[in-house]
Amino acid sequence: MDTVSSKAPQAVQRTSLAIILAVSASHFVNDLMQFLLPALYPLLKEAYGLDYVQIGLITLAQQMTASILQPLVGLYTDLKPKPYALAISMVFAITGVTLLATANTFGLLILAAMVGGVGSAIFHPEASRVARLASGGRLGFAQSLFQVGGNLGTSVGPLAAAYFLLPRGQGSAVWFALVALTALIILSAVGRWYAAHQRAHSGKPVLKAAQQILSRRRLTIAFLVIGALLLSKYVYISSITSYYSFYLIEKFDLTAQEAQLYLFLFLGAIAAGTFIGGPVGDRFGRLTVIWVSIVGALPFTLLLPHMNLAGTAVVSIAVGLILSSAFSAIVVYAQELVPGKVGLIAGFVFGFAFGIGAIGAAVIGALADVTGIVYVFNLTALLPFLGFLTIFLPRARELHPNLKEPA
């Protein structure tokens, strides 16, 4: 069901860009909902006397739930497509944000994090599949446009915290349930398009997925390398997302609201880099983007802990732009390694990224309690060294022996 037939009705094909924009807009809402929790960390830390370990555990609960479930959701929907799964994911998001607004204990915060994580687990593999179906062959572009919506949602999170959540308190998070309700309506329409796509192609011959040509050993090495690349990217980004505010407050004596604005700059740069990376990968090849993205971020991550406030802002923007450009390329590249398993691979990539980021956040929190947050930022700056492992990934010629264009 993942291959769009060239004989699909024109009515379905005409709406393809609109569908990608719809899932991108819904991704904006989904990831905004997910970021409300870390955006509230400074307030929750003070209100409930949380330490860095407990903050890391909340992140762990949210992201590990998504991490474990995403590949399972992707595998299930590979076998049994569910057009309205995306709408169901937003029901969980609404429930999670309502719980967040009303939680008054550490345990309830953990529960809110887990419910939101379930929604995210359902959303990402299915939205990635829909974007691919609607791509018209421009796989990198479609994944980037889909992914940038989520990055924009995450980047808006600090502004929502600075100008809405922090001044009004934890309970104000409930207003974002109305935003999620809008996304629920949009995703119901996407579900109807998906169902129409299924009906249009039922009983018609579809192009078979390309056969997997890599040996089991080569494939295992490739996914170990992809795991290492995701670790370098997402543990670093998780350290910024969860602790950058505390780093700026401790090192530069900023207020919580001021720190959120600097976090917005970093996350906004991630959104821009994500959008740029997909089309560049379509043009110059996925591996080129992966190389430049992760290894290219290394000089800037090493510089960041040693800069003054203005320099920190500038360097963080450079890190966000460069480091984020690889994700769409990694998703499409991994799907090409195992043809025909779009949902499973998208679930694995998103799930592993969330999971390793969550574990990293918990470890970083524990380390920060012992050594201080400034020391931790010096340590995480070394993570992009793992980008040199890209040399062990199969080249485009190995995956597509008859293809001359970048892949």
CATH at 189: 1.20.1250.20
**How many domains does the chain fold into?**
1
**In which band, very low, low, confident or very high, does the pLDDT at 159 lie, cut at 50, 70 and 90?**
confident
Is residue 368, in this structure, part of any structural domain at all?
yes
Is residue 328, in this structure, part of any structural domain at all?
yes
Residues with Cβ within 8 Å of 14's Cβ and at least 6 positions away in sequence, in order, are none
> What value does the mean pLDDT take over residues 304-329?
91
Rounded alpha-carbon distances, angstroms, from residue 399 to 55, 219, 279, 290, 338 = 42, 11, 20, 16, 10
Q: How far is CA 285 from the centre of its chain?
A: 21
Is residue 404, in this structure, part of any structural domain at all?
no
CA dihedral for 145, 151, 155, 161, sign (positive or negative): positive
Task: Give 295-306 pLDDT, tens digit per residue.
Answer: 899 999 999 999
Domain with 392, as residue range(s), is 11-399
Helix ranges, 285-339 (H): 286-303, 309-324, 327-337
Is residue 308, in this structure, part of any structural domain at all?
yes
Helix, strand, coil proportions of the chain in percent (round to 5)?
85, 0, 15
Task: Give 84-94 pLDDT, tens digit per residue.
Answer: 999 999 999 99
Q: What is the mean pLDDT of the chain?
A: 83
Task: Give 61-82 pLDDT, tens digit per residue.
Answer: 887 787 778 888 888 888 888 8
Two structure tokens written together for 220: 């295992």
Is residue 2, in this structure, part of any structural domain at all?
no
Is residue 3, in this structure, part of any structural domain at all?
no
Q: What is the pLDDT of residue 200?
A: 76
Task: Give 173-195 pLDDT, tens digit per residue.
Answer: 889 888 899 999 999 999 999 88
Is residue 267, in this structure, part of any structural domain at all?
yes
What type of residue sits at position 114? M
Task: Give 146-158 pLDDT, tens digit per residue.
Answer: 888 887 887 787 7
Two structure tokens written together for 217: 């050993």
Among 176-185, 303-312, 362-371, the range scoring the smallest mean pLDDT is 362-371
